[in-house]
Amino acid sequence: MEEVLMSRMAAQFDVPPPAPDFESRVFGELSSGSGRRVHMAWGGAVAAALALGLFIGQSGLWQPDEAVAVAEVVDTPVVAPVERTVRLAFTAGEPLDDVTLTLNLPPHVEIAGLPGQHQVRWQVSLEQGDNVLALPLRIMFPGAGELVAELDAEGRQKVFRATIPDYPGASRHAPVDVKEPAT
């Protein structure tokens, strides 16, 4: 604080150079003992007056810089959508045509290319054996939820539930659960 004040004072006020005989007068007075008491009293009074004058004079000049603003830095994580591919596998005992596949997604997840849609339904054909669907999901922000896939083939239904992949930085793992509704 003192250094800042001194540098501001030096920048604002010009200090004249000392007189050529200044050093000899100061050191001459130090060596002579005559009149020491009188000089000490006057010197102390002058020093106190000078300090008081500087204090009073500088109190009006020293004001906080209004151009300098102090801002609090808040470390908030940036949440950006991430894409993850989920592979759904459906096993069919026989070839099936005109199967209705319905996907239900939680509010924070959508299918890439279908923004804002949380339920998608379409007709598919299943071959005998494994049928794998690679589903590109867009996870908008962290959150819990599951993808629910429903297959409806000729009046027979199967419901599949899968945990949504983790958002980067989150850590949770849950197995896929298959449930068959009563028919």
Residue with token string 């989150």: 170
Give CA torsion, residues 24, 25, 27, 30, to 10 deg: 160
For residues 176 and 163, the answer to whether their CB atoms sit within 8 Å is yes
Same domain, 126 and 158: yes
Comparison of pLDDT for 165 and 60, the residue scoring more? 165
Same domain, 172 and 96: yes
Give per-residue pLDDT as tens, 88-105.
898 989 999 999 999 999
Give per-residue pLDDT as tens, 52-85.
666 665 555 555 555 455 555 556 666 799 999 9
Same domain, 87 and 174: yes
Q: What is the pLDDT of residue 164?
A: 87
Domain count of the chain? 2
Domain with 174, as residue range(s), is 82-179
Same domain, 54 and 109: no
| Residue 1: pLDDT over 70 | no
Comparison of pLDDT for 36 and 79, the residue scoring more? 79
Q: What is the pLDDT of residue 74?
A: 59
- Closest Cα to residue 160, out of 103, 116, 117? 103
| Whole-number Å distance between alpha carbons of 84 and 101 | 20
Q: Positive or negative, the Cα torsion across 135, 150, 162, 118? A: positive
Query: Is residue 145 in some structural domain?
Result: yes
Same domain, 94 and 171: yes
Reported pTM: 0.51
Same domain, 87 and 172: yes
Same domain, 38 and 107: no
Query: Is residue 73 in some structural domain?
Result: no
